[in-house]
């Protein structure tokens, strides 16, 4: 492969990103937080959330002592809430078992909830100056294009090979591991972009196979498509007095810990449910609809009935509550639910 680490370190001096708020620090808490947020989200979106988050939870003890719901609320809009739940669990574990100090051991980092091999590598490099490789989506793209690997990077044998390449390509000493790791991330995000890579500005172009053979549209290969099973759920969206009725999801399963809508087996029992839970016979059906969404392992059809009620009583209060429309922006709701609510007509 040749050693691209020297070229990347040189390139970063003049062309890398130097002013992101989580750079120029060795504080593992801040680095960890940014790495988790960046796992599925673009830098521009993360910037706002990161600032809000560290203002509210400036250190790991404060995060550990917060209620999970408050953490989810602050995460609202970033999606992939499992990241927020794991963030909270990890904070509790570090606060309890590590005297509120991030462990510097790679294996211990890897054992914490939500920290995979690449994230543990990034924390090790940025916070502890350790020579550990990273292999996130951006890095996979750079390596597969540079080497002309046409197979999907998520295939286990290809992934194994990429980890070996990432390890072999580490700089010789740990002196520049911080810059090298940042350079790889920056090159993937700003130059070797998924669409329209800026190959003419790339420090690797003289030896890059995809550039020389014009393969940047084919590489990286997409994940092979397979037919996913389809699940159906039936939700009641009940609107009354400027509020919607929400039901908290259990701590395990789809949308764990978030506020969704009351879920029925089907819509044959809508009237009974409203009578039993809200003591109302009189309601108005405003709309019946279906929203499609998909997850990694299945597709989900969300059937909903949009109902208007005059009163907003609640008999069984266990897991249900009314949330005012004006407070929805900051509530911990699954994103498909937010999307559905945005399509509904105001009453
Ligand atoms: S030359 Fe183009 S395809 Fe190759 S690594 Fe650079 S940006 Fe990516």
Q: pLDDT tens digits for 204-241?
A: 999 999 999 999 999 999 999 889 999 999 999 999 98
What are the tokens at 148? 């002309």
Closest to 75 (Cα-Cα) out of 337, 338, 331, 341: 331
Residue 302 dihedral angles phi and psi, to the nearest 5°:
-100, 110
Could you tell me if 12 and 57 lie in one domain? yes
What are the tokens at 211? 């550039």
Could you tell me if 249 and 183 lie in one domain? no
Q: In Å, what is the CA distance from 105 to each residue of 175, 206, 299?
A: 18, 38, 39
Ranges of the chain with pLDDT below 70 = 1-3, 317, 347
Which ligand 1 atom is at minimum distance from the Cα of 203? 6
The residue out of 185, 212, 239 marking a domain boundary is 212
Residue nearest atom 7 in ligand 1 by C-alpha distance: 192
Known catalytic residue at 68: no
What are the tokens at 318? 């266990």
Distance 276 CA to ligand 1 centre (A): 62
> Alpha helices, DSSP H only, in the chain?
5-15, 28-38, 43-56, 60-65, 68-75, 82-97, 106-110, 117-128, 137-147, 156-168, 177-186, 209-212, 270-278, 335-343
Could you tell me if 126 and 257 lie in one domain? no
In a domain, 220, yes or no: no
In a domain, 306, yes or no: yes
Angle between helices 68-75 and 82-97 (to 10 degrees): 140
CA distance 104 to 62: 21
DSSP characters for 38-104? Answer: HTSS-HHHHHHHHHHHHHH--SHHHHHHS-HHHHHHHHTTT--THHHHHHHHHHHHHHHHSTT----
pLDDT of residue 317: 66
Distance 211 CA to ligand 1 centre (A): 6
Provide the residue range defining the domain that includes 18: 5-212
Could you tell me if 252 and 177 lie in one domain? no
Could you tell me if 200 and 236 lie in one domain? no
Could you tell me if 79 and 183 lie in one domain? yes
Residues within 6 Å of ligand 1 by CB? 142, 145-146, 191-192, 197, 199, 202, 204-205, 208, 210-211, 216
pLDDT of residue 291: 97
Could you tell me if 236 and 286 lie in one domain? yes
In 10 A of CB 140, how many CB atoms?
21
CA distance 152 to 154: 5
Closest to 109 (Cα-Cα) out of 96, 131, 124: 124
Q: pLDDT tens digits for 110-162?
A: 999 999 999 999 999 999 999 999 999 999 999 999 999 999 999 999 999 99
CA distance 270 to 282: 12
The β-bridge partners of 143 are none
Could you tell me if 46 and 191 lie in one domain? yes
Which ligand 1 atom is at minimum distance from the Cα of 192? 7
Distance 192 CA to ligand 1 centre (A): 5
């Amino acid at each position: 492969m040749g050693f691209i680490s020297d070229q990347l370190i040189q390139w970063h001096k003049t062309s890398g990103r130097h002013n992101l708020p989580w750079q120029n620090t060795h504080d593992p808490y801040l680095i960890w937080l940014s790495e988790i947020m960046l796992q599925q989200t673009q830098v521009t979106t993360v910037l706002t959330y990161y600032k809000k988050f560290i203002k509210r939870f400036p250190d790991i003890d404060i995060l550990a002592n917060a209620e999970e719901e408050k953490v989810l609320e602050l995460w609202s809009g970033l999606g992939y809430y499992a990241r927020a739940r794991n963030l909270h669990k990890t904070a509790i574990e570090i606060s309890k078992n590590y005297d509120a100090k991030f462990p510097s051991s790679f294996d211990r980092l890897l054992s914490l909830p939500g920290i995979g091999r690449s994230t543990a590598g990034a924390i090790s490099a940025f916070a502890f100056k350790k020579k550990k490789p990273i292999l996130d989506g951006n890095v996979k793209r750079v390596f597969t294009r540079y080497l002309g690997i046409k197979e999907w990077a998520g295939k286990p044998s290809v992934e194994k090979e990429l980890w070996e390449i990432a390890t072999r390509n580490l700089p010789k000493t740990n002196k520049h591991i911080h810059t090298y790791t940042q350079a790889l991330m920056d090159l993937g995000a700003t130059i070797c972009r998924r669409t329209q890579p800026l190959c003419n500005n790339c420090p690797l172009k003289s030896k890059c196979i995809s550039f020389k053979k014009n393969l940047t549209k084919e590489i990286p290969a997409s994940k092979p498509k397979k037919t996913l099973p389809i699940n159906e759920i039936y939700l009641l969206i009940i609107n009354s007095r400027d509020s919607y009725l929400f039901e908290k999801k259990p701590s395990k399963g789809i949308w764990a810990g978030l506020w969704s809508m009351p879920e029925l087996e089907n819509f044959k029992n809508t009237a009974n449910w409203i009578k039993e839970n809200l003591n109302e016979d009189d309601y108005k059906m405003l709309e019946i609809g279906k929203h499609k969404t998909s997850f990694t392992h299945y597709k989900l059809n969300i059937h909903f009935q949009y109902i208007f009620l005059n009163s907003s009583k609640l008999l069984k209060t266990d897991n249900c509550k009314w949330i005012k429309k004006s407070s929805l922006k900051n509530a911990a709701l699954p994103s498909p639910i937010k999307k559905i609510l945005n399509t509904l007509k105001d009453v």
